[in-house]
């Protein structure tokens, strides 16, 4: 596989994180679909992901991936987040994408689990 850019890693990481959160919600919450959607949408938002990133202890390699993704120049702006949160969320997603591509399954699961367990106040 070719080397992916930081934004490509974030694109992949966004899909992985979203699928993880949705699967977890379906397996663990006995709620109507509209409540499941709200739960997932909140935890997959840029604001929430930025909060998760701030709670993670990243390795040097993960920090470099996050830095490069945060500094990348996307061609669009976030709808529901300020620029700083959007850049941090992109960095979080890039780390998730990197862990997936590098097949670091144990660390990927650790990061994904952490994305569900942060305190709500920490992500706002």
Number of domains in the chain: 1
List the domain range (segments joined by +) for residue 84: 6-123
Instruction: Please list the active-site residues.
Output: 14
pLDDT digits 0-9 by tens, 1-45: 678 999 999 999 999 999 999 999 999 999 999 999 999 999 999
CA-to-CA distance for 52 and 112, rounded, in angstroms?
A: 9
CATH number of the domain enclosing 66: 1.10.1520.10
Within a domain: 29: yes
Q: Which two tokens stand for residue 80?
A: 């529901």
- Domain-located, residue 1: no
Q: Distance between CA 55 and CA 88 in Å, rounded?
A: 12
Rounded Cα gap, residues 67 and 94, in angstroms:
10
Q: Is residue 66 part of a domain?
A: yes
pLDDT tens digit sequence for 33-79: 999 999 999 999 999 999 999 999 999 999 999 999 999 887 676 66
80 assigned to some structural domain = yes
In the three-class reduction of DSSP (H, G, I as helix; E, B as strand; rest coil), residue 14 is classed as helix
Nearest to 89 by CA among 13, 22, 4: 13
């Amino acid at each position: 596989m070719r080397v992916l850019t930081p934004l490509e890693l974030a694109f992949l990481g966004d899909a992985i994180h979203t699928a993880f959160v949705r699967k977890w919600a379906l397996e663990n919450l006995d709620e109507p679909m509209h409540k499941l959607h709200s739960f997932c949408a909140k935890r997959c938002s840029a604001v929430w992901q930025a909060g998760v990133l701030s709670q993670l202890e990243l390795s040097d390699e993960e920090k470099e991936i996050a830095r490069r993704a945060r500094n990348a120049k996307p061609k669009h702006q976030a709808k529901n987040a300020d620029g700083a949160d959007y850049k941090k969320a992109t960095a979080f997603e890039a780390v998730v994408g990197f862990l997936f591509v590098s097949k670091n399954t144990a660390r990927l699961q650790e990061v994904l689990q952490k994305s569900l367990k942060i305190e709500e106040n920490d992500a706002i």
